[in-house]
Structure formats: C-alpha cells, structure tokens
Amino acid sequence: MSGFSAEWLDLREGADHAARNPALRESVARAFADRESLTIVDLACGAGSNLRGLAEHLPARQKWLLVDHDPALLAAARARLAAWADVAEGGDILCLAKGARRLEAEFRVADLSCGAGAALAGEADLVTSAAFLDLVSPQWLDRFAEQIAARRLPLYAILSYSGEERWTPPHAADARMLAAFHRHRAAGLARRGFWRKRWSVGVMRSRPRRAPGVSARRRRR
C-alpha cells in the first residue's frame, strides 16, 4: 500500500467530503439513530478525515479506533482532530467535544496489507474506510468480507474516482493499465464479495465527482 503525505490528504479532504453521497450517508445514520453511543473502527484512517466527515451524523457519544500503517499520519490525525474539536484533551486516548458530540479517539499502528483481522478483533459496531479499498487486492477484499461477515459488522466505505485520467508522460502500456484498473474497480469487487456472504449492499454515486460509496449490512432472510 502506498504512502500519502498529510499535506496531500489535507488538500483533498474538502472535495472528498463534498463528493459523498448524502443518501448513503443518511442510511448509515438511520441505522444507528436509536443508539446513544457507538464504537467505530476506521481502517487506513490517514489524517482522520473520515471521522471529521462522519461524526456529526452518528450518535452523541462515539468511540473511534483509528488504524493506519504510518505513525506520521496517526500523529497528524491526532493534531488535526485536536484542532478541529471545540475541546480536546487526553493522552493515549484523545477526548474530543464537537458541538453536542463527545468522542474518544484511539490511534493504532497496524500493517493492513496483512489483513484487517487484528484491527477488527476488539469491540466494534461499525467499520469505516475512505480511499482505501482501491489499494488492496481482490484476495484481500474476499478475506475482509469473510471477517466482516463473521462479526456481523456493517461497513461504510468511500471511494473517490472521477472517471477521468491523464497520463504524463504517455506510455505504450497506459491503455492496458487503465483497463486493468477498471477491471479491479474496488466498489464492484467489494459488492460481489459481500453478496456472496448474503449481505445487503448499497452502492450510490455522488454528484460532484461521480465517486461511488459502498455500504454493506447483513441481509434479512
């Protein structure tokens, strides 16, 4: 999995948040509307953008486990979340107040290329990710679907892809690489993986960037 700088993630955060499909996000909010508290595991959290984009739509009390392989990004996430909150305090666990929300954020270094099992081993009510599932293999996604299904955990995942590309400098293999990328499209692979586990899957396109989000939960029989 490639590394990303916190500064680059800062540049794309506003556009990524604006691109999220509100109907899909609200379906996640409705699923937990009767809950007073929620525990969320955010995979490949980067600088904490997913928490900032989703927190206001979840119950008033939230516990987040932010997982990433890069200690520098986790440090950036801690700093940016502290600056984003109205009040921030704490040591290993960062306690945040944002409006009426009270959040606890724990940060964990983990190599997700080996799988998400360790990150999902603890308490969780919801698993989230953003701009992550397109970085893993189909085999990784299949294992992930099995792990999610075994725990009966809902998943809310965001992928940002405008459908536009530009290659500089041009190369003879550009067309083949693009075709391979489209075959790998993570939204479709994830959807098929969860369907095989008899899960209900929702895929919706966002308006500004045509970026698909993926939401999955257990299908009622």
Return the top range by mean pLDDT from 43-57, 141-155, 175-189, 202-216: 43-57
Structure tokens at 47: 């600088």
CATH code of domain 6-218: 3.40.50.150
Mean predicted lDDT score pLDDT of the chain: 82
Q: What is the CA 205 to chain-centroid distance, rounded?
A: 16
Residue 49 near residue 64, CB atoms below 8 Å: no
The DSSP secondary-structure symbol of 114 reads G
**Chain segment 193-206, per-residue pLDDT in tens:** 565 655 566 665 66
**Beta-sheet strand order (sheet of 93-98):** 87-90, 93-98, 101-109, 61-68, 37-43, 126-130, 155-158, 212-218, 199-205
Residues 98-119, mean pLDDT to the nearest whole number: 94
Confidence of residue 217 (pLDDT cuts 50, 70, 90): very low
d(CA 131, CA 59): 24
pTM for the whole structure:
0.78
Residue 191 near residue 141, CB atoms below 8 Å: no
pLDDT at 85 over 80: yes
pLDDT at 191 over 60: no
Domain ranges of the chain: 6-218
Q: Residue 1: what pLDDT?
A: 45
